[in-house]
Chain A
Amino acid sequence: MQKKVFVQGLILAAVLILPLLLNYMGHPFYLDLATRLCILAIAAVGLNLILGYGGMISFGHAAYLGLGAYAVGIPAHHWLYGGMDVIATTNGFVQFGLALLVSGIFALLTGLICLKVKGVYFIMITMAFAQMVYYLFISIAEYGGDDGLVIDTRSEFPLVNFDNSTQLFTICAVSLFFVMWLVWRISKSQFGMVLAGIKGNEQRMIAMGYNTFVYKLAAYVISGMICGFSGALLGNFTTFISPEMIDWARSGELMFMVILGGVATTFGPILGAITFIILEEVLSTITIYWHLPFGLLLIGVVMFVKGGLSALIPKVGDKE
């Protein structure tokens, strides 16, 4: 167990320090890579809360990333080009607040409907709502429609400057650690225990007097808000958002990160995101056909690796 904690600490330290070090040595590319990694990992942590701990398989979480990014892009767009004075701002607190609010409300409204159904129906209905968001943004010409929206100015906060890539990375990394801590706390709380109980046997929890629907809905909303937050960071990082980010294939990639890393673990999502980013980067520089080995790996992981990558850590670490 000691060694497991050690390995995990090492990975966290590497995620934080290595990119900064490489950037300092004149390789800013790795800093960008690590920023993207942290942002995707935040989303994966958010998805893990319901997919891993709650057993709710959402196939539409890319929608929250999109909503979060548009919540940054749309106010900035109006601030520059006029119209919609109510939300026209570059103030980061307003933009991030909007991202959390919109994704929270969207999760609440869709959750009320989605959580009435189970199993494969839940997978499909979450996907259906994400597709609705996808088509909504495709059809709004003002925000670029199909082509997407260029976010001309990043969110403005006092003291930190998002245009500075080192500072943006540090914010993303710290956010990631905070979100990991948050979800870890939730999973250990009474709320998290009830959630785990619902995943194990919902009937039993109902019989014990819990209103399971409310618990699931709360987890669903928190998960959506975490992904919305991640989307707001993503908008600031890429300074561009298009409906393509909401496509169901993106939701599939998020699921892949969670499963690959190991569901219902604090560390799984970040391991999954690291692997995903590395694979994407390494394979796509070797060949334009990088989806082939990537797909094969995905199939291999699903068929042969039980419990994901984080299950491998104690095996390695506990060898005496």
Chain B
Amino acid sequence: MDYTLFVIQLLNGLQLGILLFLVASGLTLVFGILDFVNLAHGSVYMLGAFICASLTFALGNFVYALLISLPIVAVIGYGFERLIARPLYERDHLDHVLGTFGAILVIDTLAHMIWGPAGIAIPLPAALDGQTQLAPGIVVPTFRLAIITAGLIAAVGLYWLVNHTRTGMLIRAGASNRTMVTALGVDIQALFSFVFAIGAALAGLAGMLIAPITEASLGMGNNIIITAFVVIIVGGIGSMKGAFLAALLIGMIDTLGRAFLDDIFKVFMSTSAAENSAPAISSMSIYLIMALILFFRPQGLFPPKLR
């Protein structure tokens, strides 16, 4: 196997894993704390990409655009919580799924009306646009390294927020026992809105980071949201650590499967059979993993300790 290609694919897997974590972390926070299934979380990812694209053209700089887009997306998440999510908290999961499915249709169509049907490519500043040499013979696009770095910074920031701040303490307390936290005089509604806004900002960030590579496009959120659900179920619903590790795992399996599974299959089956079956198996693999996890360990790989 080609060593260079392997390292590059490993980095691609890491990048996908990081992006998945950014989307899944908000999902698992909301799911774990509020027991709310939010299919529309992927639409925020898409909105992040589009808003960042527009601002990049308005300001002429991707990095500034990204920094301004973040609070905008957070505000959108806050508004979504107030308008759509809050009336549905007390309902069952079926209503969550249907209500947020409706929200996807609304948000996607609004994006269609505002930005048109075609995707928007985002130009990168020169500093991020080049290639970086990691080791002799291994050259990777600088921006991919930037994505990984930015994602890791966000992950560390989230870890710090949840585990080492007063707000994070309240979030964790709310996750274990909502009623008790309310009884102690904490405004749980405001806390929930805050969690939603944070989740939206993270998902939006993921969209902004991927947009310069894939361009901002309609439906991009619907592709990632299902994978993000796979991540939080594999990792254990409500668990940050689980979401992080499962995101990396799923990202790696998905990327490496697509890249190398046909080579592996060729070892024990004919070339044509391997080339036919490998893409199917690699696309299905993450769902296969989720089904196996759900069957043998429904609580996920790293379930939160206090539930």
How many interface residues does A have (CB within 8 Å)? 41
B290 touches A128 (CB 8 A): yes
A303 touches B280 (CB 8 A): no
A255 touches B97 (CB 8 A): yes
Given contacts A113-B295, A125-B294, contact A298 B284 (CB under 8 A): no
A299 touches B280 (CB 8 A): no
Q: Which of B87, B279, B295 makes the CB contact (< 8 A) with A303?
A: B87
- Tell me if B113 is interfacial: C-beta within 8 Å of chain A: yes
Q: Which of B95, B97, B291, B298 makes the CB contact (< 8 A) with A59?
A: B97
Q: Which of A76-84, A91-99, A114-122 contacts B (4 or more CB under 8 A)?
A: A114-122
Nearest Cβ in chain A — how far from B149, in angstroms? 31
- Tell me if A222 is interfacial: C-beta within 8 Å of chain B: no
Nearest Cβ in chain B — how far from A133, in angstroms? 9
The complex places the Cα of A296 from the Cα of B106 at a distance, in Å, of 7
Q: Note all chain A residues with C-beta closer than 8 A to B133.
A: none
Q: Note all chain A residues with C-beta closer than 8 A to B101.
A: 249, 252, 256, 298
Nearest Cβ in chain A — how far from B124, in angstroms? 30
Q: Note all chain B residues with C-beta closer than 8 A to A296.
A: 102, 106
Q: Which of A4-12, A134-142, A193-201, A234-242 contacts B (4 or more CB under 8 A)?
A: A134-142
Q: Which of B93, B98, B108, B110 makes the CB contact (< 8 A) with A298?
A: B98
B99 touches A117 (CB 8 A): no
The complex places the Cα of A248 from the Cα of B219 at a distance, in Å, of 13
- Chain B, residues 118-131, CB within 8 Å of chain A (1/0): the string is 00000000000000
Q: Note all chain A residues with C-beta closer than 8 A to B276.
A: 139-141
Nearest Cβ in chain A — how far from B236, in angstroms? 11
The complex places the Cα of A130 from the Cα of B103 at a distance, in Å, of 22
The complex places the Cα of A123 from the Cα of B39 at a distance, in Å, of 12
The complex places the Cα of A121 from the Cα of B295 at a distance, in Å, of 10
CB nearest to B291 among chain A residues = A128
Given contacts A117-B295, A121-B298, A129-B291, contact A135 B99 (CB under 8 A): no
Q: Which of A124, A294, A298, A301 makes the CB contact (< 8 A) with B233?
A: A124
The complex places the Cα of A147 from the Cα of B112 at a distance, in Å, of 24
**Secondary structure class of chain B's binding surface, majority of residues:** helix
Q: Note all chain B residues with C-beta closer than 8 A to A51.
A: 94
CB nearest to B296 among chain A residues = A116
B105 touches A292 (CB 8 A): yes
B97 touches A252 (CB 8 A): yes
Nearest Cβ in chain B — how far from A267, in angstroms? 20
**Secondary structure class of chain A's binding surface, majority of residues:** helix
B94 touches A298 (CB 8 A): no
The complex places the Cα of A141 from the Cα of B280 at a distance, in Å, of 11
- Tell me if A259 is interfacial: C-beta within 8 Å of chain B: yes
A299 touches B291 (CB 8 A): no
CB nearest to A57 among chain B residues = B94
Q: Which of A57, A132, A139 makes the CB contact (< 8 A) with B287?
A: A132
- Tell me if A41 is interfacial: C-beta within 8 Å of chain B: no
CB nearest to B83 among chain A residues = A299
B226 touches A131 (CB 8 A): yes
The complex places the Cα of A113 from the Cα of B287 at a distance, in Å, of 13
- Tell me if A188 is interfacial: C-beta within 8 Å of chain B: no
Q: Note all chain A residues with C-beta closer than 8 A to B294.
A: 113, 116-117, 121, 124-125, 128
Q: Which of A117, A125, A136, A292 makes the CB contact (< 8 A) with B280?
A: A136
Q: Which of A125, A252, A289, A292 makes the CB contact (< 8 A) with B291?
A: A125
Nearest Cβ in chain B — how far from A16, in angstroms? 29
Given contacts A59-B97, A302-B99, contact A291 B109 (CB under 8 A): yes
- Tell me if A295 is interfacial: C-beta within 8 Å of chain B: yes
- Tell me if B44 is interfacial: C-beta within 8 Å of chain A: no
Given contacts A117-B294, A129-B291, contact A299 B97 (CB under 8 A): no
CB nearest to B233 among chain A residues = A124
B284 touches A127 (CB 8 A): no
- Tell me if B206 is interfacial: C-beta within 8 Å of chain A: no
Could you list 6 further interchain pairs (A-B, Cβ under 8 angstroms) beyond the known A57-B94, A302-B99? A121-B298, A140-B276, A252-B97, A291-B106, A299-B106, A303-B99
* Sampled A-B contacts (14; CB under 8 Å): A57-B94, A59-B97, A121-B294, A121-B298, A131-B226, A255-B97, A256-B101, A259-B94, A289-B112, A298-B98, A298-B99, A298-B101, A298-B105, A302-B99
Give chain B's interface residues, CB within 8 Å of chain A.
37, 84, 87-88, 91, 93-95, 97-99, 101-106, 108-110, 112-113, 222, 226, 229-230, 233, 237, 276-277, 279-280, 283-284, 287-288, 290-291, 294-295, 298
